[in-house]
Each structure stands twice: as C-alpha cells, then as structure tokens.
C-alpha cells in the first residue's frame, strides 16, 4: 500500500485513512491494531477491493484493483481472497457443508472435486460432525471454523480477517488463532488480520498499529509469544490517547 488516503465525502467529510503506506510480504501473518475509529475496517474494505481509495495505490500480487472492472474485481475476490468476519456471516439458510462449498459452486467446479475438498477441510478443521447442521445450531467456535473453512476452500493466496475472535470465548479464540497460524505456516497463505485483541495479535509475525487513519508503529514478533504480547501492550498503552496524556505505565 502506498500513500493511500480515503476520504468519505458527504455532509460531514471524514478522512478515514490518511497517507497510509505499508507492505505485507507473501506468506506473512500480519495483524493491524488500533483504537476504535482508527480506520481498520476501512483499510480492510480497501484491500478487499469492495471500496476504492481516494488517492494512493494498492497493489496486490502485482495487480491494481483500481484499474480493474467490477466484474474482474469480483472474480479476483472470488479466486484470490478469503474473508473471515467477526460475526461469521455464514448464510443462515445453508448447512455448514453448503456454506463451505459456496465459493466453489460460484466457479462451477466439478462435483467430485468439491466433495474432495470438503472432506479434506472437514478433517483439518474438525467439522466432520456438524456438516449437516445449520449455523444457528452450532457454537461460535464451530461457526468461525466454518467461516475459515469457507475462506480456505478455494485455496486463496490472501486471507483477510476482521476481528475473527471478536465474538468468541477464550478457548474458541485460541482454537481459531492456532488454526490461522497453522494455515499460514502450512499453506504459506498470507493473512491480514484486523483485531482489537492483543492476544490475537500476538499470534502474528508482525503487528501494524494505526491511529486516526495514519501509521503509528509496527513491531515484529520474537521467539516467545509472551514477550511479544507484552510489547504489543506497551504500544497499545501509548496508542490509547495522546502520548502526553498518560505516563507509559508498564503492565506486568
């Protein structure tokens, strides 16, 4: 991302993202953190090509979304991107299995191929027991695993996750994050995750902090998750308000 700015025009003009630049490497697991209203969701919308930047350029795998037509964008999203949402956004009328297979049906894959991929994923994500159930009959953790499965089934290069642990309890969160980390390592899938939760961020390779739409800081993980988590908290405590408002208290 290079010098990306997004201005919401309207009765009140609002600059959601201001000259933000960063790069995510192939196979990297990156978290974006920032307080409410810092522009995280806008950022995600821009990268997921459903919104376009006012100025600046976004390049994904050599492609520039702003140069593509609507249909090309849709096909690009369908094949290259996977999405995981905070409230899962599973389609209520479909069973778990049907939710999983949905992206594949859009591309009209042969039935055998679809069945094979579902069998693989169900094993990997431990969804075998609930394939015939509906989204309102399963737990939050299972729902989010299903959503991750749906994001993975078409083997995208890039997964965008918006607060994937926001609605989950700690056990389910841990499962989901470990799953994402594993996917990242095993399949070398690039993952960009927006989160509030420092624990979630500590599973990543790198954390980018933004504030009021601008780049604030970034830190890289080290060998121990515990110390990485501590460093994330340090940055967050600075991020919370104006730097001079509060003294930087070290939490231990």
Partner 1 sequence: MTFRQFAYRNVVRNRRIYAAFFMASMFSVMVFFMYSMLLFHPKIEDEFLREFAASGMIVAEIILYIFTLFFLFYSMSAFLQARSKEFGLLLQLGMEKKQLNKLIFLETMLIGAVSVATGIFFGYAFSKFFFMIVRELLQLESLPLYVSIKPFALTMGAFFSLFVIIAMTSVVFIREQKIIELIRGYWKTDELQSYSTVKAILGIAMLVFAYGAAAFTSTTVVLALSIVLPPLAALGTYFFFTHSVLFLLHQVRKRKSLYWHPYRLIAISEVAVKLRENARMYFIVTIVSTVAFLSVGTLTSLSSYTGQFREINPLSLIYSSEMSNPYESDHISLLRNELEEQGLSYTLVPFLIKQQTSSFSQNSVDILRMSDVNSLALALGLPLIELPPGEAMFIPYSEDSIGTLKSKEIQTVLEESNVPIRIRGVYPKMLFPSMIIGSNIVVVSDSDYRLINEPFSGRSLIDSSYKFFAFHVAEWERTKSIGLDIDSQVTDAIYDGGFTTLPFYFENPGLNYSVIRATFSLLLFTGLMVAAVLLLAAGSFVYFKLYTGLERDKRQFDVLKRMGLTEQEIIKIVNRQLVPQFFLPWGIAMLHSAFSFLSLQVIWSNLAEVSILSEMILVLVGFTLIQIVYYFLIRWRYIDHVRA
Q: By C-beta, is 32 or 104 nearer to partner 1?
A: 104
Compare residues 9 and 223 and give the one whose CB is closer to partner 1.
9
**Based on CB atoms, which residue is closest to partner 1, 48 or 202?**
48
| SS3 (DSSP) at 22 | coil
Which of residues 193 and 232 has its CB atom nearest to partner 1 in the complex?
193
**Residue 208: strand pairing partners:** 32, 218
Question: What whole-number distance in Å separates Cα of residue 178 and Cα of residue 200?
Answer: 10
- Size (the chain), residues: 252
Task: Decide whether 35 or 166 has the Cβ nearer to partner 1.
Answer: 166
Residue 55 phi, psi (nearest 5) = -150, 170
From the list 108, 223, 247, 250, which residue makes contact with partner 1 (rule: CB under 8 A)? 108
Q: Of 102, 155, 100, nearest to 128 (Cα)? A: 100
Q: Which is nearer to partner 1, 163 or 202 (CB)?
A: 163
Question: Nearest to residue 173, comparing CAs of 202, 150, 149, 153?
Answer: 202
**Taking contact as CB under 8 A, which single stretch among the options 52-60, 109-117, 119-127, 176-184 is the one that binds partner 1?**
109-117
Assess 9 for contact with partner 1 (CB under 8 A): no
Q: Determine the Cα–Cα distance for residues 172 and 156; give it in Å rounded to an integer.
A: 24
Q: How far is the C-alpha of 81 from the C-alpha of 84, rounded, in Å?
A: 10
Distance in Å, CB of 135 to partner 1, minimum: 8
Write the interaction track for partner 1 spanning residues 55-94; mark x where CB under 8 A is met and - where it is not.
---------------xx--xxxxxx-x-x-x---x-xxxx
Residue 107 within binding range of partner 1, rule CB under 8 A: yes
32, 198 contact by CB (below 8 A): no
User: Which residue in 107, 174, 114 sits closest to 149, CA to CA?
Assistant: 114
Site for partner 1 in 122-151 (CB under 8 A): 134-136
Residues of this chain that bind partner 1 (CB under 8 A): 48, 50, 70-71, 74-79, 81, 83, 85, 89, 91-94, 98, 101-108, 111, 114-115, 134-136
């Amino acid at each position: 991302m290079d010098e990306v700015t997004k201005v919401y025009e309207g009765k009140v003009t609002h600059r959601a993202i201001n000259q933000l630049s960063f790069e995510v490497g192939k196979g990297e697991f990156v978290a974006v953190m920032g307080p409410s209203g810092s522009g995280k969701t806008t950022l995600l919308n821009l990268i997921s090509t459903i919104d376009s930047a006012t100025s600046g350029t976004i390049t994904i795998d050599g492609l520039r979304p702003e140069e593509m037509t609507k249909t090309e964008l849709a096909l690009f999203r369908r094949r290259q991107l996977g999405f995981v949402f905070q409230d899962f956004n599973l389609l209520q009328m479909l069973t778990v299995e049907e939710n999983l297979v949905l992206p594949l049906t859009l591309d009209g894959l042969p039935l055998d191929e679809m069945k094979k991929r579902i069998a693989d994923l169900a094993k990997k994500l431990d969804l075998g027991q609930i394939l015939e159930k509906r989204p309102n009959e399963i737990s939050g953790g299972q729902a989010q695993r299903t959503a991750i499965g749906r994001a993975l089934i078409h083997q995208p290069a890039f997964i965008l996750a918006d607060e994937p642990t926001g609605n989950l309890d700690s056990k389910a969160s841990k499962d989901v994050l470990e799953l994402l980390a594993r996917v990242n390592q095993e399949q070398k899938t690039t993952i960009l995750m927006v989160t509030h939760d420092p624990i979630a961020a500590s599973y990543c390779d790198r954390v980018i902090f933004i504030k009021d739409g601008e780049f604030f800081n970034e830190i890289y993980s080290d060998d121990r998750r515990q110390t990485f988590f501590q460093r994330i908290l340090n940055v967050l405590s600075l991020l919370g308000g104006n730097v001079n408002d509060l003294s930087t208290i070290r939490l231990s």
